Amino acid sequence: MEQLLTFIGNHPLLVGLFVVLLMLFIRNELVRGGPAIATQELVSLVNQEAAVILDVRPKEEFGEGHIVGAINIPYDKLDDRFSELNRFKEKSLVVVCKMGQHSGGAGTLLKKQGFEKVSRLKGGILEWRGQNLPVTKK
């Protein structure tokens, strides 16, 4: 610990640059793929704006339970299946995955394809289930 403090004292420019780059990286990660929304915000978007839910989990996981009305396009097949989503370009689109890890990447891909109202469910389907919100297997 003493060596770390000595290093910081001897190299303030280097440490300052590191802190700035770290903050920029964190900011970039937070905004990529659209804003992260909570479960209650998703419910409001669906009820008020008829938002579309895109579940990017594999088909097997989707079949074990998903949010009612969700469309399943697995993350690894998203590049090939954008045409299925073109009719939703003007609507709010919420990306859902298992824990919120793939939804940011999927959101970034969607934004590159011209989708403007993209957001992602914070915590993914695990958070949804953790809040005891309804899922279906149909």
Q: Where are the domains of the chain?
A: 1-31, 33-130
Angle at 65 between CA 99 and CA 102, to 5 degrees: 25
**How many Cα atoms within 13 Å fall on the side-chain side of residue 127?**
17
pLDDT tens column, 45-97: 999 999 999 999 999 999 999 999 999 999 999 989 988 999 998 899 999 99
Q: Which residues lie closer than 8 Å to 117 by C-beta, 6 or more apart?
A: 90, 91, 92, 93
Sign of the C-alpha dihedral computed for residues 67, 73, 74 and 76 taken in this order: negative
| pLDDT surpassing 70 at residue 29 | no
Within 74-134, residue ranges assigned H as helices are 103-112, 124-130
Q: What is the pLDDT of residue 31?
A: 62
Q: Is the pLDDT of residue 33 over 80?
A: no
Q: Which of 86, 85, 30, 89 is nearest to 56 (CA)?
A: 85
Question: What's the confidence (pLDDT) of residue 36?
Answer: 87
Q: Hey, which residues are catalytic here?
A: 97
CATH superfamily of 33-130: Rhodanese-like domain (3.40.250.10)
